[in-house]
Amino acid sequence: KAGVTQTPRYLIKTRGQQVTLSCSPISGHRSVSWYQQTPGQGLQFLFEYFSETQRNKGNFPGRFSGRQFSNSRSEMNVSTLELGDSALYLCASSLDRVEETQYFGPGTRLLVL
Amino acid sequence: SQQGEEDPQALSIQEGENATMNCSYKTSINNLQWYRQNSGRGLVHLILIRSNEREKHSGRLRVTLDTSKKSSSLLITASRAADTASYFCATPPSGGSYIPTFGRGTSLIVHP
């Protein structure tokens, strides 16, 4: 089975712009979660989607949003980018629940200038 | 506050030595998962141990779970330079909603 894929792998944006990141989970996995990883804050949970619905949400501002499509692929969007949004964004999929083993993608490294 | 916390923060050993890192948590758990992350890349799942298990092996990895002490340890035997990475634990609670949290991890450096 192919692993979790994320596109793009690297991205450079400027403050105020918006960005959309994409994640394709492992085939058959219905739960997709997103994380932000920074040197200062570590690995932080953004949100989880299951069957096209947001099931769980971390403590991030409304500028961070996501969605899931019927084929379980997911996108996350960050609007009005800030310098502090520079981070590695990781997507993870699991069969049904985030409590189960999660399979992570390679991440998208976002740099905001 | 973090549900799972890894320690030590950093560990430096020579190739061939064993590496032990620990994870402590606060509430009753459903299972405990260990992950590895090589620099700047995604996390890789290593092993999952359920709350009713006490020990589990996978290759050179040995995980123990002590639910009375709310702690787990990950032992890597005969370490290799390729084991250099950060190691994280995830501790889904046995009840209630779960917001996945990871600690700062243990940064392991294995010198050739």
Is A93 an interface residue toward B (CB < 8 Å)? no
pLDDT at A50: 95
CA pair distance B49, B55, nearest whole angstrom? 8
Residue type, A26: I
Report the first-to-last Cα separation within chain B, whole angstroms. Answer: 37
Residue B30 has pLDDT above 50, yes or no: yes
Residue B96 has pLDDT above 80, yes or no: no
Total beta-carbon pairs less than 8 A apart between chain A and chain B: 53
Contacts of B90 in chain A (CB under 8 A): 102
Closest CA to B49 of B68, B25, B27, B66: B66
Residue B2 has pLDDT above 70, yes or no: no
CA pair distance B21, B34, nearest whole angstrom? 10
Contacts of A110 in chain B (CB under 8 A): none
Q: What is the mean pLDDT of residues A3-25?
A: 98
**Inter-chain CB proximity B97 and A56 less than 8 Å:** yes
**Inter-chain CB proximity A42 and B104 less than 8 Å:** yes
pLDDT-derived band of residue B1, with 50, 70 and 90 as boundaries? Answer: very low
- pLDDT tens sequence across A19-45: 999 999 999 999 999 999 998 888 999
Residue B28 has pLDDT above 80, yes or no: yes
Mutation pick from A101, A110, A111 vs chain B, by most beta carbons of B within 10 Å, is A101
Reported residue count of chain A is 113
Select the residue of B35, B99, B102 nearest A56 (Cβ to Cβ): B99
pLDDT at A38: 94
Q: Are A113 and A14 a contacting pair, CB within 8 Å?
A: yes
Closest CA to B50 of B36, B68, B30, B75: B30
Query: CA-nearest residue of chain A to B88?
Result: A43
pLDDT at B103: 85
Mean pLDDT of chain B: 93
pLDDT at B72: 97
Which of the pair, B93 or B17, is modelled with greater confidence?
B17
**Inter-chain CB proximity B92 and A98 less than 8 Å:** yes
Residue B95 has pLDDT above 80, yes or no: no
Query: CA-nearest residue of chain A to B102?
Result: A43
Residue A46 has pLDDT above 70, yes or no: yes
Residue B27 has pLDDT above 90, yes or no: no
Q: What is the mean pLDDT of residues B45-73?
A: 97
Query: CA-nearest residue of chain B to A44?
Result: B101
Is A98 an interface residue toward B (CB < 8 Å)? yes
Which residue matches tokens 């995604």? B42
pLDDT at B4: 83
How far is A92 from chain B, CA to nearest CA, in Å? 9
Sheet holding B61-66, edge to edge: B4-7, B19-25, B71-76, B61-66, B55-58
Query: CA-nearest residue of chain B to A89?
Result: B42
- pLDDT tens sequence across A47-87: 999 999 999 899 999 999 999 999 999 999 999 999 999 99
Q: Is the dihedral of CA B6, B10, B15, B19 positive or negative?
A: negative
pLDDT at A48: 95
pLDDT at B93: 81
